[in-house]
Amino acid sequence: MAVTADPAGADGPRRFVLKPAFGGHWSETVSLFRGIAVVSLGIAGVLTWLGFWPVLPFAGLELALLGWALYVSARRALDTEVVTVSEEWVCIEKGRGRPEARWWLERYFSEVCVPAPDAPGARLMIRCRGECVELGDFLAAGERRQLGRELYRCIGPVAAGGIRPAA
């Protein structure tokens, strides 16, 4: 998990960028797949040459499933959520590599719902006038609570006009 927060000045907007934790880059993933494919197809080729031909289709199926799983995992690593808190608005952008969905919520009427420490799987949400936006579904529970507290400090309680609670 990666949450980066751009600290703002006294009056500037605050920006939080959320990305899932992913250990590798696309080139590393492709290199891993190629290495496994060479070994798997090499063994399957030798076994096919020795007369055990049914091994070859299963090796191909195995590589196809592994390639699909690596692709889905690498694609999920591109998920990004950006929360920008300004004096009047809370802007939430979600997407893969670029914003695909955007919500503009009035800060005055926005409320941060922080999950309780003993509630596993609880969701972090920002509500405003009946609209709920979930944040950080890829975050661990502790990270979600920490982000929720930080957002609460920026947004403040609902209808409090941006008054920040004492730390």
Q: How high is the pLDDT of residue 140?
A: 83
Residues paired with 125 in a beta bridge: 113, 134
- Judged against a pLDDT cut of 70, whether residue 147 lies above it is answered with yes
Q: How far apart are CA 65 and CA 74, in angstroms?
A: 14
Q: How far apart are CA 35 and CA 40, in angstroms?
A: 9
User: Is there a contact between 107 and 86 (Cβ–Cβ < 8 Å)?
Assistant: yes
3-state SS, residue 72: helix
79-125 residue pLDDT tens:
899 999 998 999 999 998 788 999 999 998 899 987 676 666 678 89
What's the predicted TM-score (pTM) here? 0.72
